[in-house]
Structure 1
Amino acid sequence: MAEAIELTVGERTVRVSNPGKTYFAEKGITKGDVVQYFLAVGEGILGALRDRPTTLERWPGGVFEGAKLSTRADNRGDAFYQKRAPKGAPDYVETARITFPSGRPADEVCPTELAVVAWAVNLGTLTFHPWPVRRPEVDHPDQLRVDLDPQPGTSFKDAVTVAHELRGLLDELGMAGFPKTSGGRGMHVYVPIEPRWSFVEARRALIALGRELARRMPDQVTVNWWKEERGERIFIDFNQMARDRTIACAYSIRPTPRALVSAPLTWDEIDDVAPGDFDVHTMPARFAKVGDLHAGVAEQAYSLEPLLEMVARDERDGQGDMPYPPEYPKMAGEPKRVQPSRARPAE
């Protein structure tokens, strides 16, 4: 086991234990390499995390064949989500108190400086999952996160096609979006909004946005929650805007053998790139050349009113709320959470 090293990060000294430990065998990437990656894109990762309660996706043993995440049903995985700030964290690791859908509170890590990122990476964090809120307004989202999720039979290119239509729709609404790769097969588009509305309102706004895209591209887009109804289309995952649902932030590393990362993009380049273009080795040079393409997410804020008007229109047409994830309490106005193929005729 390699000796620990100490790195100067801003005004802090961050200890990195066992920097030579292999984290991605296929690419020969070590724990020390992962730390250096995040420092190289420091301005970008901190821009995505600053003042946001953040869940840490920790892979302390690295990513290896057969490794899996712990789940609610099976906590014997090799990696896990850290939703509460770990005990013994340095005093510069600040927290934000959030409330889960169950009503239980928790103090989550709330990064304010790059040293917090380096400290979290030393714990095995590869993927950062910030809430779409900033303290102190932790109950009012300031980002609408559109997850373009390719279903079986579709690809990243299909998500790109939908992203172009989404861009046009946002323009009609007087809004702008910021695209990025998910680090997998999909694409995310962030729309900065004024922190004046609740999670319920933001989620309903995203449902309305997804429904409008599905009207315009019925053969390519779906908002159907049940997988059996989605077909070979891009799913607009509206439940990513439910409280405590998060998306891997820009510059996060995904637990893939090739150490792919979530890469901010310009609209002009989305037709010409692929998720595999961006990994721990290639992103630092790209970041040095183009800077943080998501910096504008924190510099703008749009009203949600145009989308809430679409919500009201849908309700007049008999299109109300959609199902929440199964672990959530029953929400007001929510339809029954019954898979269509299992529903009794009365349902």
Structure 2
Amino acid sequence: MSAGRSVRAGRRTLEIHRPDKVLFAPRDGGDGNGDGEGGGEGDGPEYTKADLVEYYRSVAPYLLPQLRDRPLMLERYPDGVGGPRFMQKNVSAHYPDWIARVEVAKEGGTVRHPVCQDTATLVYLADQASLTLHRWLSRTGHLDRPDRLVFDLDPSGEDDFPLCRKAAHHLGELLDALGLPSVLMTTGSRGLHVVVPLNGRHGYDEVRAFARDVADTLAAAHPDRLTTAARKKDRGDRLYLDVQRNAYAQTAVAPWSVRARPGAPVAAPLAWDQLDDPGLHARRWTLADAADQARTDPWGDLLRTGRALGPARRRLDALR
């Protein structure tokens, strides 16, 4: 068993336990679910827990603004991506007191979600083998009012990314026509997310209904390529415009999160003009090079000012 290692993270020094523990082995790549989603054998380099910690330290300046004040759900792989997956919402009893928490009501009790406010928390979660961070679309002060709207462009197959590009272009053009700025990110899995900043004054039901109407409008314009059908059997080979993440207590993968897929791909923000790069695909950036993409600051200040949905709703109704 490998010895621990101390890492400086902001004002704190943390002990990394078993830093040489292999999380991504060359012959691994499954997601621990037994559903085949994570890929197969043989592709991708080896990455250890120390590599994961160093990656999250390197992207902290870009990731933390996307996490602050948001409840998290952690996707953990204590035995590496070839082992079991744990989806964790509740803060464990052994978590240090300096990690922020938020208590959220649920049927029959409450859930105490971790909240990542600083680099030390990010490093601690990486030491817990939290590969992927899934965040709420609202913040702790206003849990019922999201300030992000997410469209998940989910192609039917691994090789359908060209359709994903076209769908993103169509969606971006429609959002522009509605007066809503948007940003783009790879999921690190198969598709893309298009994210719209909101002013946080609308409830989840209103936001999801608006997102559904946008998706329905787009699917009606391209019925042979796009669908809003929730059941896979009803989609055929069309791309699914998924808006279900825009519901209370649902989460979306956080930008710059590592995914449990072969090669350790990352959910990476990109600029709209990168969408036509012939080398682009959903797993284009990995733990090895995503920090370089982060330093280009592809989103810039585009998420700083959220929009109201009222004017966009009136424009959408006029189009339908």
Report if TM-score (shorter chain) is over 0.5. Answer: yes
Query: Residue 253 of structure 2 aligns to a residue in which SS?
Result: coil
2:296 paired with 1:278: no
Amino acid at match of 1:15: E
Query: 8 Å contact 2:197–2:307 — kept in the other structure?
Result: yes
In structure 2, distance between residues paired with 1:300 and 1:2: 46
- Tell me: CA distance 1:241–1:103, structure 2 relative to 1, closer, same or farther (3 Å): farther
The Cα shift of 1:53 comes to 0.6
In structure 2, distance between residues paired with 1:86 and 1:123: 11
In structure 2, distance between residues paired with 1:129 and 1:15: 24
2:51 paired with 1:33: yes
Q: 1:51 aligns with which of 48, 53, 69?
A: 69
Q: TM-score, normalised by structure 1?
A: 0.82
| Corresponding position of 2:229 | 224
2:273 paired with 1:268: yes
Query: 8 Å contact 2:179–2:312 — kept in the other structure?
Result: no
Amino acid at match of 2:283: G
> In percent, how many aligned pairs have the same letter?
31
| Corresponding position of 1:22 | 22
Moved more, 262-271 or 219-228: 219-228
| Corresponding position of 2:98 | 92
2:250 paired with 1:250: no
The Cα shift of 1:203 comes to 0.9
The Cα shift of 1:285 comes to 2.6
RMSD after superposition:
2.0
The Cα shift of 1:173 comes to 0.8
Pairing 1:9-158 to 2, within 5 Å after superposition? 9-26=9-26, 27-64=45-82, 67=83, 78-100=84-106, 102=107, 104-152=109-157, 155-158=160-163
| Corresponding position of 2:212 | 207
- Tell me: CA distance 1:153–1:115, structure 2 relative to 1, closer, same or farther (3 Å): closer
Moved more, 103-112 or 302-311: 302-311
Query: 8 Å contact 2:158–2:190 — kept in the other structure?
Result: no
**Structure with a larger share of its residues in strand:** 2
In structure 2, distance between residues paired with 1:155 and 1:144: 24
The Cα shift of 1:217 comes to 1.4
Query: Residue 301 of structure 2 aligns to a residue in which SS?
Result: helix
Deviations 1:88-145 (A, max 9, x none): 2112200122244x47431211111111111011111000001001120111000001
2:192 paired with 1:174: no
| Corresponding position of 1:5 | 5
In structure 1, distance between residues paired with 2:66 and 2:150: 13
Deviations 1:270-328 (A, max 9, x none): 1211233210111123333x13x2353541201112454478789xx9xxxxxxxxxxx
2:259 paired with 1:241: no
2:318 paired with 1:300: no
In structure 1, distance between residues paired with 2:201 and 2:97: 31
| Corresponding position of 1:338 | none
In structure 2, distance between residues paired with 1:153 and 1:113: 35
| Corresponding position of 1:332 | none
Amino acid at match of 1:97: E
Q: Unaligned regions of 5+ residues in structure 2, if any?
A: 27-44
- Tell me: CA distance 1:216–1:306, structure 2 relative to 1, closer, same or farther (3 Å): farther
Q: TM-score, normalised by structure 2?
A: 0.88
- Tell me: CA distance 1:301–1:255, structure 2 relative to 1, closer, same or farther (3 Å): same
Amino acid at match of 1:284: A
The Cα shift of 1:153 comes to 7.9
Query: 8 Å contact 2:178–2:316 — kept in the other structure?
Result: no
In structure 2, distance between residues paired with 1:309 and 1:154: 37
